Amino acid sequence: MIEKPEKLIDKKGVRLDGRKADELRPLKLEVGVLSNADGSAYIEHGKNKILAAVFGPREMHPKHLSRPDRMVLRCRYHMAPFSVQERKSPAPSRREVELSKVIRESLEPALFPELYPRTGIDVFVEVLQADGGTRCASITAAALAIADSGIPMRDLVVACAAGKIDDTVVLDLYDAEDKLGVADVPVAYMPNLNAVTLLQMDGILAPDEFEKAVNMAIEGCKKIYVLQKEALKTKYMNVKEEIKEETEE
Residues that bind other proteins (CB under 8 A): 38-39, 56-59, 68, 110, 112, 116-119, 147-150, 152-156, 190-193, 229, 232-233, 236-237, 239-240, 243, 247
Pick between residue 147 and residue 170 the one whose CB is nearest to other proteins: 147
Pick between residue 74 and residue 118 the one whose CB is nearest to other proteins: 118
- The Cα 121–Cα 139 span in angstroms is 15
Pick between residue 211 and residue 230 the one whose CB is nearest to other proteins: 230
Q: How far is the CB of 153 from other proteins (least distance, A)?
A: 4
Pick between residue 39 and residue 133 the one whose CB is nearest to other proteins: 39
- The Cα 81–Cα 47 span in angstroms is 16
Cβ of 128: how many Cβ atoms within 10 Å? 14
Q: Write the DSSP symbol of residue 20.
A: -
In the three-class reduction of DSSP (H, G, I as helix; E, B as strand; rest coil), residue 240 is classed as helix
Angle between helices 134-149 and 94-107 (to 10 degrees): 50
Q: How far is the CB of 141 from other proteins (least distance, A)?
A: 15
Q: How far is the CB of 32 from other proteins (least distance, A)?
A: 9
Q: How far is the CB of 147 from other proteins (least distance, A)?
A: 5
- The Cα 107–Cα 72 span in angstroms is 12
